[in-house]
Chains A and B, each alone.
Chain A
């Protein structure tokens, strides 16, 4: 079936290194993607989004890359800090502009990022 999934359930990096979290999606009709961060004891927080007409989008220390050819999404975190330790989710949606339901934001299972000091 159509789903969003993550390549690695856990990722451990050293403080100061760059982190790359990957996500595969199978629904080629998805036209909008979001990365969320969930810290322990908190709800998911929006990090960055990207539309399917873009290949790359940058935020503060984060970059999202979208490869529609292989249906792959990645989140790059530069100079990873201990405060970046969390579970990261990608989510996809087929927006009404592409014929989808307004509300079907589908989440992946999440990758646990651990930053070692």
Chain B
């Protein structure tokens, strides 16, 4: 356990479903990140929250909607996804300006 917990570990959803991914960190960090990891592709940065404010939205489609209610929790709301959105979604946290991110184990998402 790294201190960053992601739930659920696995998720299968239809293209018309709405679901949410949850990330929780107990490390006292003040920055949180969502990354997408697809097969044979580098990790792709999706969103960054620093001090609970979104500071990066890396051209992510609007069917992905992040939420950061406090510095310990991060959500990724999913709506009307496509099969190509199937991937491992990783959450990470750090102190602002500290680049040694701590990652969670990810949510394996399959869109059918």
Residues of A in contact with B (beta carbons under 8 Å apart): 4, 32, 34, 36, 41-46, 49, 89, 91, 93, 95-96, 101-110
- With beta carbons under 8 angstroms apart, the residue of B50, B56, B99, B106 that contacts A34 is B99
A103 and B33 CA atoms in complex are apart in Å by 9
Is A43 within 8 A of B106, CB to CB?
A: yes
Chain B residues lying within 8 Å of A104, measured Cβ to Cβ, are 45
Contacts of A91 in B (CB 8 A): 99
Residue in contact with B43 in the complex, picked from A32, A93, A95, A107, CB distance below 8 Å? A107
A-B contacts, CB under 8 A, total: 59
Which bracket fits the contact residues of B?
20 to 34
Q: Which residue of B lies closest to A101 (CB)?
A: B56
> Which of B11-19, B62-70, B75-83, B89-97 is the contact stretch?
B89-97
Q: Which residues of A contact B92 (CB under 8 A)?
A: 43
Measured between beta carbons, the chain B residues less than 8 angstroms from A34 are 99-100
Q: Which B residues form the contact surface with A (CB < 8 A)?
A: 2, 4, 6, 31, 33, 40-43, 45, 48, 50, 55-56, 90, 92, 96-97, 99-106
Cβ-defined partner of A102 (8 Å) among B96, B100, B101, B104: B96
Give, as a whole number of angstroms, the nearest-CB distance from B88 to chain A.
9
Q: How far is the CB of A83 from chain B (nearest CB, A)?
A: 16
Contact yes or no, B4 A43, CB < 8 A: yes
Set of chain A residues within 8 Å of B100, measured between Cβ atoms:
34, 46, 49
Complex: chain B residue closest to A109, CB-CB: B42
Contact assessment for B90 and A105 in the assembled complex, using a CB-CB cutoff below 8 Å: no
